[in-house]
Amino acid sequence: MELFKELKWYFIQEWKRYTGTFILLTIMTLLQLLPSKIIGSTIDLILSHQSSDQEILLKISQIITISIVVYILRYFWRILLFGASNQLTSQLREKFCFALLQQDAKFYSKYRNGDLISRATNDIDRIVFAAGEGILTIIDSFVLGCSIIIVMSIQTNWKLSFFSLTPMPIMAIMIKRYGKLLYTTFQQSQKHFSYLNNQAQDSLSNIHMIRNFGLEKTEIKKFSIVANNVKKKDFQVSKIDAQLDPIIHISVALSNLFAILGGSFLITKNQLTFGQLTSFILYLGSMIWPILAFAWMFNIIERGNVSWKRIKKIIFYNKKKTIPFNIVNINSLKDLTVNIKKFSFPERKNSSLHNIKLCVPRHTTLGICGPTGSGKTTLIRLIQQHFILSHGYINYHKHNIKNIHIKKWRKIISVVNQIPFLFSDSILNNIGFGKKNATFKEIKNVAKLACIHNDIKKLPQGYHTKIGEKGIKLSGGQKQRITIARAFLVPSKILILDDPLSSVDHDTEHKIINNIHKYTQKNKITTIIATHRLSILEKFNNIVVLKNGTVIQEGSHKKLLSSQNWYSEMYNYQKFK
């Protein structure tokens, strides 16, 4: 019942629906007891030759009327109960999505996409099923079971009731034991199902690479191994389910046997009539559903418990740390100061950055360059608050950025990442993603600044062309320029570009860089660019060279060229290449 304690907030929220369901189920349960009583009394009347055709027809009409009323009540309680549980689906998925949007890069390095998709779909479905069918089985099995036991004891014979229900406590003990085993086994099953999702997601994301290297058979073999592991775990769950059914059916069969033997004995002693025994056996037959429901309830709830714990890990992951200790409001453009004593990625011992001190005054440009793996992207990611800096600080006008609300900070910066990401949507919607109320004129203007407008015009549907999953229908340079246009569209105080022109030819690169300078000077925006192409940095106010995670050179373009160093050597190499 731990799951229902955890979902208490939702039951309180939807108390009207659940209360209505309980009332309708109770009325329906009590009505279902009447046909057995009517049939038993009718048999006694027939055997005693005291019944008339009219009385028998009246009894039959009563049973039909009760059946119709039960059908109508069943329709309404299903609307109430499953309407409430379906509402839970939406709320849990909203909470799950909101939690994902709050997480940092550390979280996504721990949880893979396939696993998260599995939790958002399969696990939430299990929880909702428990909140719907689970509640139904609890109410129905408890109310119907108790009602039948009371009626059998009062209207027939309490000794016969006790004797007939002797197998039930033994069955309950065995079901509880299997319930614990089911919980552990289903937990492993869900875990391996997440692995299967991860493998499928990897294969689909890299399908072109797999085909290029002719690794289809290798990938199929890897997928088959994971799929077989899932099959084995699911089979273990099915084996436990299969062991429950015989226990239930044997218990029901023994109860019926005891009822017939005990009832026959009481009839010979004139303590019971044939009609009463018939009613008793019908009541006992009605007990089959509460017994099955009782076992089914354990199955549903144990699976729901496993799924809830998997969902809870995400919804409440690191929740306390995501709330800033001291929230600061920033309304104007300020200087950016970086002082990184040491930074290491989570679960890594070696530091990626150390002893970095920078100052980026407002309205200026900063270029970051250096060999591959020197820490350029890591520095950019720290400025974006992808990771929390423990040793050192990054200040925006004397305020540590980790104390600036993340939503506020995201409005201050506009970013073009090293790997361009595009949605499976139109070019228009991709460029306008960061500004939902953007006009077509604004989108076209920023496309011109990013030198992508002419390319878009050549496409079959222009700005309304669908670009496919991750922009598969576009070239690398086109993807980069669309992401640059998207960054131009969003009003910001700091523009951050991480190797934004690596797939663009030199002529287009020169035009875009000039447009960036004009755009940032006109709008008084601070610009930070990390790049391998040093010609981009010629007009920048300040340039820093990183190597092995620290600054080895700093200064303007002219200053760095005036001496023999990595920057001058690499610049001349690229220039005369």
* Whether 263 contacts 277, CB under 8 Å: yes
- DSSP reduced 3-state for 269: coil
The structure tokens 């994301």 sit at: 205
In whole angstroms, give the CA distance from residue 37 to residue 151. Answer: 9
Same structural domain for residues 450 and 418? yes
- DSSP reduced 3-state for 420: coil
What backbone torsions phi and psi does residue 525 show, to the nearest 5 degrees?
-110, 135
In whole angstroms, give the CA distance from residue 315 to residue 297. Answer: 26
Whichever domain contains 120, its CATH number is 1.20.1560.10
Helices (H) and strands (E) in the chain, counts: 23, 10
Same structural domain for residues 307 and 359? no
Q: Which residues of the chain have pLDDT under 50?
A: 320-325
In a domain, 74, yes or no: yes
Distances, alpha carbon 221 to alpha carbons 59, 112, 118, 228, in Å: 66, 21, 22, 10
Q: For the segment 142-151, what is each residue's pLDDT rounded down to a tens digit? A: 777 777 777 7
In whole angstroms, give the CA distance from residue 455 to residue 443. Answer: 14
- DSSP reduced 3-state for 181: helix
* Whether 365 contacts 542, CB under 8 Å: yes
Look at residues 287, 322, 357 and tell me which one is the last residue of a structural domain.
Answer: 322
Q: Which amino acid is at 423?
A: F
DSSP state of 152: I
* Whether 143 contacts 287, CB under 8 Å: no
Same structural domain for residues 99 and 133? yes
Q: In the chain, how long is the greatest CA-to-CA distance?
A: 122
Look at residues 265, 293, 322 and tell me which one is the last residue of a structural domain.
Answer: 322
What angle in degrees, to the nearest 10, is found between the helix axes of 274-286 and 288-315? Answer: 20
Whichever domain contains 494, its CATH number is 3.40.50.300
Same structural domain for residues 437 and 558? yes
Look at residues 295, 322, 349 and tell me which one is the last residue of a structural domain.
Answer: 322
In whole angstroms, give the CA distance from residue 322 to residue 388. Answer: 10
What angle in degrees, to the nearest 10, is found between the helix axes of 216-268 and 288-315? Answer: 150
pLDDT at 322: 46
Same structural domain for residues 309 and 428? no
- Residue 270 CB contacts under 8 Å (≥ 6 apart), including other chains: none
Using alpha carbons only, how large is the chain's radius of gyration in Å? 35
pLDDT at 188: 83
DSSP state of 499: S
- H-state helical runs in 476-565: 476-489, 506-522, 557-561
* Whether 287 contacts 255, CB under 8 Å: yes
Same structural domain for residues 296 and 400? no
pLDDT at 320: 45
**Token pair belonging to 160:** 């016969």
User: How many domains does the chain divide into?
Assistant: 2
Which region, left, alpha or beta, applies to residue 363 given φ > 0 means left and ψ of -120 to 50 means alpha? Answer: left
Start-to-end CA distance of the chain, whole Å, equals: 71
Same structural domain for residues 266 and 350? no
What backbone torsions phi and psi does residue 154 show, to the nearest 5 degrees?
-80, -50
- Residue 492, domain extent: 336-575
* Whether 119 contacts 194, CB under 8 Å: yes
pLDDT at 485: 92
Give percent helix, percent strand, percent coil of the chain, each to the nearest 5.
Answer: 70, 10, 20
In a domain, 505, yes or no: yes
Same structural domain for residues 309 and 367? no
pLDDT at 323: 45
Q: What is the dihedral of CA 287, 70, 127, 100, to 10 degrees?
A: 180
Residues forming a β-bridge with 401: none
In whole angstroms, give the CA distance from residue 84 to residue 405. Answer: 35
pLDDT at 453: 92
